[in-house]
């Protein structure tokens, strides 16, 4: 009998249990992960080029270049989006706080519905851009509404919020990120 | 029961064909081969809304928009790599069903082989120790105990009979 090939004691019977616990740990963590949350590849990349009409004045066009030099939050929303309704109060709060300019992107929406929405719920946006075809949404890698992008003065995307913004996000993510952006830029 | 299953299977099979046909039917193709090639391309791209469906099958609105986008690029004679690049630049590697090989996906590509090697090692060790442990000498005491145990077993069997 060769003794050295045997793992000493009863420990070897614990190996399967140990492996099981590692797997169970990963699977348990998986329960709380959202498969819909896909990390954006656009973080730290320049904002995609766009040139879009605004909701309240279709003659007026806003392009990527117009936003240079400003820190801004691009919020992709639509009047047909249920989660956007919950988010809207949070956007109103951010606008009231005056910590960052919010630009809305009305995504694949009817202009009349979009206008009515803002009349009913308030307008937190400095400007609302209309992306009727959804083409600009594709360039931003939008795959669901709402989504929000935090963009610095150099026109670089610094953070992406997938899904509706909530109140804890303001203090927990938005303000620290804004400080980071403005601190670096100064 | 078996016929019901067969009918169901055939029915669903036929319907699945229709689903694919409607998703791509809005595009004009010069030939059947061209349509087939485009269908194969679209099947490699994941719909990000319903993640278990490809761009060729999904009825989600975003899938429709992306199909149109991919179709335009494709009609412009863009290569498959260029189209993949366009999508990955916006949605990340996740949009492709076939993940590219790079440091962050090494575990995905080589993990299974690694686990297989571990399995081989464990198996070979188990087999080896089995052949080595074949001969076990029993002491006088053990022999005695074994006999009495076997005897007990026989007794029990008679009782249950």
* pLDDT, tens only, B16-65: 655 555 567 778 888 888 889 999 999 999 998 888 899 988 888 899 99
Name the superfamily (CATH) of residues B2-100. Cytochrome C biogenesis protein (1.10.8.640)
Closest approach of A20 to chain B, Cα-based (Å): 14
The percent of residues in chain A predicted with pLDDT above 90, rounded, is 82
CB distance A151 to A158 below 8 Å: yes
Residues A99, B17: Cα–Cα separation, whole Å: 53
Find chain A residues with C-beta within 8 A of B92's C-beta: 38-41, 141
Q: Closest partner residue to B133 among A1, A35, A141, by Cβ?
A: A1
In the predicted model, is pLDDT for residue A5 greater than 60? no
Residues A40, A1: Cα–Cα separation, whole Å: 58
Long-range contacts of A26-33 (CB under 8 A, 24+ apart): none
Contact assignment for B61 to A108 by CB distance below 8 Å: yes
Find chain B residues with C-beta within 8 A of A135's C-beta: 65, 69
Which residue on chain A is closest to B90 by alpha carbon?
Answer: A141
In the predicted model, is pLDDT for residue A129 greater than 90? yes
Name the superfamily (CATH) of residues A51-185. Glutaredoxin (3.40.30.10)
Residue-level pLDDT at A2: 44
Q: Is A126 helix (H, G, I), strand (E, B) or coil?
A: coil
CB distance B49 to B60 below 8 Å: yes
Range A147-171 average pLDDT: 95
Could you tell me which residue, A116 or B139, shows the higher pLDDT? Answer: A116
Indicate the pLDDT class of residue A186, thresholds 50, 70 and 90. very low
Q: List chain B domain ranges.
A: 2-100, 104-160
Contact assignment for A1 to B49 by CB distance below 8 Å: no
Could you say which DSSP state residue A11 is in? G
Contact assignment for B92 to A139 by CB distance below 8 Å: no
Could you tell me the pTM of the whole model?
Answer: 0.74
**pLDDT tens digits for range A6-65:** 556 678 788 889 999 999 999 999 888 887 777 788 999 999 999 999 999 999 999 999
Kindly give, in sequence order, each residue whose CB lies less than 8 Å from that of residue B43, ignoring residues fewer than 6 positions away: B54, B55, B56, B57, B97
Q: Note the Cα B21 to chain centre separation in Å.
A: 25
Range B103-119 average pLDDT: 91
Closest approach of A101 to chain B, Cα-based (Å): 24
Q: Closest partner residue to A138 among B69, B125, B133, by Cβ?
A: B69
Find chain B residues with C-beta within 8 A of A35's C-beta: 51
The percent of residues in chain B predicted with pLDDT above 90, rounded, is 37
What six digits make up the tokens of B112? 């299974």
Contact assignment for A141 to B92 by CB distance below 8 Å: yes
Could you tell me which residue, B5 or A19, shows the higher pLDDT? Answer: A19
Contact assignment for A41 to B125 by CB distance below 8 Å: no
Residues A150, A103: Cα–Cα separation, whole Å: 10
């Amino acid at each position: 009998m060769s003794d050295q090939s045997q793992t000493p004691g009863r420990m070897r019977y614990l190996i399967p249990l140990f492996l099981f616990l590692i797997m169970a740990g990963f699977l348990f963590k998986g329960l709380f992960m959202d498969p819909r949350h896909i990390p954006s590849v656009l973080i730290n990349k320049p904002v995609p080029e766009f040139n879009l009409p605004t909701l309240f004045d279709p003659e007026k066009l806003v392009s990527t270049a117009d936003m240079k030099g400003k820190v801004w939050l691009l919020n992709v929303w639509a009047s047909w989006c249920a989660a956007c309704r919950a988010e809207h109060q949070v956007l109103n709060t951010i606008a009231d706080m005056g910590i960052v300019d919010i630009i809305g992107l009305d995504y694949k929406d009817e202009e009349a519905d979009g206008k009515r929405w803002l009349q009913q719920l308030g307008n937190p946006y400095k400007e609302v851009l209309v992306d009727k075809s959804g083409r600009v949404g594709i360039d931003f890698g939008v795959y669901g509404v709402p989504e929000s992008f935090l963009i610095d003065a150099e026109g670089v995307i610094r953070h992406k919020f997938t899904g509706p913004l909530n109140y804890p996000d303001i203090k927990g993510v938005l303000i620290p990120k804004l400080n980071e952006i403005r601190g670096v830029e100064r | 029961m078996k016929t019901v299953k067969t009918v169901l299977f055939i029915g669903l099979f036929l319907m699945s064909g229709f689903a694919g046909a409607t998703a791509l039917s809005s595009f004009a193709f010069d030939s059947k081969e061209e349509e087939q090639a485009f269908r194969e391309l679209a099947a490699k791209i994941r719909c990000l809304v319903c993640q278990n469906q490809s761009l060729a099958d999904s009825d989600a609105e975003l899938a429709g928009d992306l199909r149109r986008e991919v179709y335009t690029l494709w009609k412009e004679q863009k290569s498959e790599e260029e189209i993949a690049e366009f999508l990955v630049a916006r949605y990340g590697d996740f949009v492709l069903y076939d993940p590219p090989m790079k440091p962050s996906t090494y575990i995905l590509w080589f993990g299974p082989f690694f686990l297989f090697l571990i399995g081989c090692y464990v198996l070979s060790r188990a087999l080896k120790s089995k052949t080595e442990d074949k001969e076990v000498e029993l002491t006088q005491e053990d022999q005695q105990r074994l006999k009495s145990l076997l005897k007990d077993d026989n007794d029990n069997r008679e009782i249950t009979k």
